[in-house]
Amino acid sequence: MAERKPFLLRIDRDVLEALQRWADDDLRSLNGQIEFLLRRALQEQGRPAGKNTAGARITKGQKEPS
């Protein structure tokens, strides 16, 4: 399992409450939902998270390395 690092996040109360409702709907913890959304946003922007992706950027139409 990947190393987990604690991180303090200041967030608007309304956004936090909306994320909590979404997490509840998806049967995830709030932390799990935030991490899921961040990973999805990274993937969509061609910036996948992972050990071997530091500095790597995939542009539209470019195939992600295997």
Q: Is residue 28 part of a domain?
A: yes
Distances (CA, A) of 20 to 7, 39, 55: 18, 17, 32
Q: Is residue 1 part of a domain?
A: no
pLDDT of residue 60: 55
pLDDT of residue 4: 87
Q: In 27-60, which positions are buried (b, 16+ CB within 10 angstroms) versus exposed (e)?
A: ebeeeebbeeeeeeeeeeeeebeeeeeeeeeeee
Name residue, tokens 């303090």.
8
52-64 per-position pLDDT tens digit: 555 555 555 655 5
Report the number of distinct structural domains present in the chain: 1
Kindly report the pTM of this predicted structure: 0.69
Kindly report the number of other CB atoms within 10 A of residue 24's CB atom. Answer: 12
Q: Is residue 20 part of a domain?
A: yes
Q: Residue 28 is part of which domain span? A: 13-45
Q: Is residue 56 part of a domain?
A: no
1-52 per-position pLDDT tens digit: 678 899 999 999 999 999 999 999 999 999 999 999 999 999 999 998 886 5
